[in-house]
Amino acid sequence: NSGGEQIGLIVDRIADVVSARTNELDPTPANLRGIDGRFFGGVYKLEGELLVILDIDELLAIRGTGQTV
């Protein structure tokens, strides 16, 4: 759900499914923010890597504004 609407996303593939609680997320590192950090909700630390959490609500908020990502 986003803004009270059900949404769907099309992806090329899913490698893994990870369950994480909000309190287990860390802020997005500064070196990722340069990409367009407003679309990142934080990162989750895995063994030897970081999983970047996409902020779907922020991404969908540009819908209809004429902006592109």
Helix (H) or strand (E) holding 45: strand 40-46
Q: What is the reported pLDDT for 59?
A: 81
Whether residue 12 has pLDDT greater than 90: yes
Q: What is the pLDDT of residue 13?
A: 94
What pLDDT, in 10s, does the model give residues 51-66? 888 888 888 887 666 6
18: CB partners within 8 A, 6+ apart: 44, 46, 51
For 20-51, what is each residue's pLDDT tens digit? Answer: 899 999 998 877 655 677 788 899 999 998 88
